[in-house]
Structure 1
Amino acid sequence: MGNEMKWIRNIKARLEDNKASVEALNIDEIRKVKNFHKSFPMYFETPLVELKNLAGYLGISNIFVKDESYRFGLNAFKVLGGSYAIGKYVAEKLGVDISDLTFEKMKGSDTRQKIGQITFTTATDGNHGRGVAWAAQQLGQKAVVYMPKGSSEIRLNNIRATGAEAYITDLNYDDAVRLSYENAKKHGWQIIQDTAWKGYKNIPLWIMQGYATMLLESIGQLKEKGIDRPTHVFIQAGVGSLAGAVQGLIAAYYKENRPISAVVEPNKADCMYRSAVNGKITSVGGDMDTIMAGLACGEPNPIGWNILDSYCDLFASCPDNIAALGMRVLGNPFSGDEKVISGESGAVTMGFLYAVTTNEKYKDVKDALELDENSKVLLISTEGDTDPENYREIVWNGKYPYMK
């Protein structure tokens, strides 16, 4: 793989023909999702950090970073999707609407007696599996989690700390998903996976709805700061569930006045970028050995892809040093700006923004995105230092240097 960014503009994103439905991500539905999350005693809105001085340096109006390192004490956003999907699953088992199901009701002995013992299983690079395992633990249920080869031992141990069984396999991410699915069928477990396939669509959609809570929070937090809408939203993609959720809510909420959007991926797992180039779902195989472990997914979620194909303005494929750059920029702020501790997958959009606004060779990307002195950019730092040792290697010791 080269060490340069690749990108493609999605011209049809601004046409009105053949748009994918975003009804499942409409504002009323996501308010219901947020209310479910608010019933958790550990819930609070994660910070929306304003980086006004960095924005001035980059020649734009403002930058806002949603800092998900504070989410439920788990250092990443993924628990929003897993917990909501499990909540919807339990609600269906009980025959009630999710609006009538709170965290306390889910934990209650009456609910546990009705639904019995459940083992939830999933494949993960770390954060999603930890979120599913944590939710299962809270409900007194079991979890079995599979991780791809090369996964962080620290992330493995964090999952096991919830009481879950967790294993690092010798498979890549997508084959670990298949292993989880096969074992679920064999043992009567329930798979909670953030990608869809034939006969398995409800749970991935519920996970996407769960993710949308943080964007709904962001919209409200921006309004508190006097911002009716950001001009730009940049979002990272693995299988595309998060990116599809964010893009879908943007399209549903802002409609024809929606912000300009870009999806950013690691170049060793850029299935969304390749799908955009080819005009159809395109997978990436092999080990996908990127530092952006949470984005090392080779097979697109078709639900997420359909939304992104319809509405996303630009797809970018980035080398690892762009993510490392973003980590250092967020971790070493200008005086007056707040520090954000962001992990490899969380910081790639900041690295992308910094690169396209400061490096002349990416001027065509900047122009395509219409970034200028009036731009107000929203980014989501999806994780904190979920692998602290690697975080220090990059931020302290300069691993994966960025060269113009």
Structure 2
Amino acid sequence: MGKLIWANNQQYLIQKNVEQVVPFLRNFSLEQVNRVGRFQRTYEKFESTPLRSLDAFASLVGVQSIFVKDESYRFNLNAFKVLGGVYAIGQYAAKKLGRNIDELSFEQLKSLEVRELLGDLTFISTTDGNHGRGVAWAARELGLKARIYMPAGSAEERLQNIKNEGAYAEITTMNYDDTVRYTSQLAKENDWVVIQDTMWEGYEEIPVWIMQGYTTLVKEAALQLEKAPTHVFLQAGVGSFAGAVVAFLQQYYEQKITFVLVEPFVANCYYESFKAGAEQFVTVGGEMQTIMAGLACGEPNPLAWDLLKTYTKVSICCDEEVAATGMRILGNPLATDARIIAGESGAAPVGCFYELMTNEQYTELKDTLQLDENSRVLFINTEGDTDVENYRNIVWHGKYAKI
């Protein structure tokens, strides 16, 4: 059987933590999220992504309903990350022009006049693939430059996808967090603009813009749902995506939602932080090689940490088999359930959920989360088959199968 370990969050709903994050939650109010969506929808090919109801799967595991927001359709880029990159670049351009982004459209930013005013801008970023492709796409669409650096072990297909968007891209010999530090130094030396969804002292504004960009998909899901979810399983990584989801839903619904984080064993900084019961997060290092490449991050985004330590109940970390199981479940649906093509990071929460619902070894975790016949569970498929060869090896040929 696949393996899970989990840690309850000892900082969960502590009042002083709630009071601390209230001001930051305003960045994710419905009014602000509507502003974000307004700009993104000025892109002529913008479309909402589907929300799939997996009724047969829900019946099999004994919950009321299961929904999957499928971001593999986003902007024809096979992942959600472009939402953050395009909004951050738009905000940066608006600020450089001395304009309010509410007064600008994506098409206006593509104009020759605006390009001349912006000058020779180069955006630089670290990525496992999806974020960098989104940044490269946005830069190319706006007639600007992008340089993208990937951690050791990144898939060649993801590298080529970024190059196909017109960016300079290379795979480094470092892990994700060290590559972030490297690109930050390159940006200082060359006067390039870092577009990254983690933050450090002196680099706070752009990561918030990226997190705000992610909220468009969350609002779409909320409008597509008839009832509020009782449980939301979220991929962790540095926590920016999960933090944005939690920040919006926490305000949008007037009921308690149980948020659960999911991480790989080798990059489980939220699990280690929750286990330590710490007010400050714990970092993990090493090579962090995992098929869940989008989650191979060992250092939380500090603002995302503040949000997630306040409102997230449990962090689960899992092995490769669990993520692979999630891919096969979504790609081979029951009865009339829709087929969903999910990559390794996109499917990991579904694999974790299935394991804890069907394996008696995790009854305690299931009870802790109060998952039962009244539960309405939401997942977000953050990526499609962004590494086609690995997807086929897993879904067709049984790589990382349970033994």
TM-score class, shorter:
over 0.9
Match of 2:266 among 265, 268, 272: 268
Q: Matched residues in 2 for 1:91 and 1:357: separation?
A: 47
* CA deviation profile, 1:162-216 (whole Å, cap 9, x unmatched): 1100001111111111111111111111010110000000111111110111001
Match of 1:166 among 165, 169, 180: 169
1:80-95 paired onto structure 2 within 5 Å: 80-95=83-98
Letter of the 2:242 counterpart = A
Q: Is the 8 A contact 2:212 2:244 kept in 1?
A: yes
TM norm structure 1: 0.96
Residue 17 of structure 1: CA displacement? 3.6
Structure 1 residue runs of 4 or more that deviate by more than 4 Å after TM superposition: none
1:392-403 paired onto structure 2 within 5 Å: 392-403=392-403
Q: Matched residues in 1 for 2:273 and 2:137: separation?
A: 33
Letter of the 2:44 counterpart = P
Q: Is the 8 A contact 2:8 2:275 kept in 1?
A: no
Q: Does 1:183 align with 2:186?
A: yes
Q: Indicate the residue corresponding to 2:44 in structure 1.
A: 41
Q: Indicate the residue corresponding to 1:78 in structure 2.
A: 81
Q: Indicate the residue corresponding to 2:292 in structure 1.
A: 292
Q: Matched residues in 1 for 2:193 and 2:100: separation?
A: 20
Q: Matched residues in 2 for 1:191 and 1:78: separation?
A: 15
Q: Matched residues in 2 for 1:13 and 1:198: separation?
A: 25
Q: Indicate the residue corresponding to 2:231 in structure 1.
A: 232
Q: Is the 8 A contact 1:69 1:76 kept in 2?
A: yes
1:119-138 paired onto structure 2 within 5 Å: 119-138=122-141
Q: Does 1:243 align with 2:242?
A: yes
Q: Indicate the residue corresponding to 1:258 in structure 2.
A: 256
Residue 97 of structure 1: CA displacement? 1.5
Q: Matched residues in 1 for 2:119 and 2:11: separation?
A: 48
Structure 2: runs of 5 or more not aligned: none
Q: Indicate the residue corresponding to 1:26 in structure 2.
A: 29
Q: Is the 8 A contact 1:284 1:298 kept in 2?
A: yes
Q: Matched residues in 1 for 2:161 and 2:11: separation?
A: 42
Q: Indicate the residue corresponding to 1:217 in structure 2.
A: 220
Q: Is the 8 A contact 2:17 2:306 kept in 1?
A: no
Q: Matched residues in 1 for 2:2 and 2:344: separation?
A: 16
Residue 15 of structure 1: CA displacement? 4.4
Q: Matched residues in 2 for 1:196 and 1:34: separation?
A: 23
Q: Is the 8 A contact 1:23 1:252 kept in 2?
A: no
1:191-206 paired onto structure 2 within 5 Å: 191-206=194-209
Q: Matched residues in 2 for 1:281 and 1:141: separation?
A: 36
Residue 10 of structure 1: CA displacement? 2.2
Q: Does 1:65 align with 2:68?
A: yes
Q: Is the 8 A contact 1:149 1:170 kept in 2?
A: yes
Q: Secondary structure at the match of 2:346?
A: coil
Q: Is the 8 A contact 1:121 1:180 kept in 2?
A: yes
Q: Matched residues in 1 for 2:266 and 2:14: separation?
A: 30
Identity of aligned residues (%): 51
Residue 14 of structure 1: CA displacement? 3.8
Residue 95 of structure 1: CA displacement? 1.4
Residue 94 of structure 1: CA displacement? 1.3
Aligned residue-pair number: 397
Q: Matched residues in 2 for 1:49 and 1:13: separation?
A: 30
Residue 258 of structure 1: CA displacement? 3.2
Residue 42 of structure 1: CA displacement? 1.7
Q: Matched residues in 1 for 2:121 and 2:212: separation?
A: 22
* CA deviation profile, 1:264-313 (whole Å, cap 9, x unmatched): 00111011111111212111111101100011011111011110001111
Residue 11 of structure 1: CA displacement? 4.9
* CA deviation profile, 1:106-149 (whole Å, cap 9, x unmatched): 11112112111100000100000000000000000000000011
Q: Is the 8 A contact 2:68 2:378 kept in 1?
A: yes
TM norm structure 2: 0.96
Residue 358 of structure 1: CA displacement? 0.6
Supply the RMSD in Å over aligned alpha carbons. Answer: 1.2
Q: Secondary structure at the match of 2:345?
A: coil
Letter of the 1:231 counterpart = T
Q: Indicate the residue corresponding to 2:356 in structure 1.
A: 356
Letter of the 1:220 counterpart = L
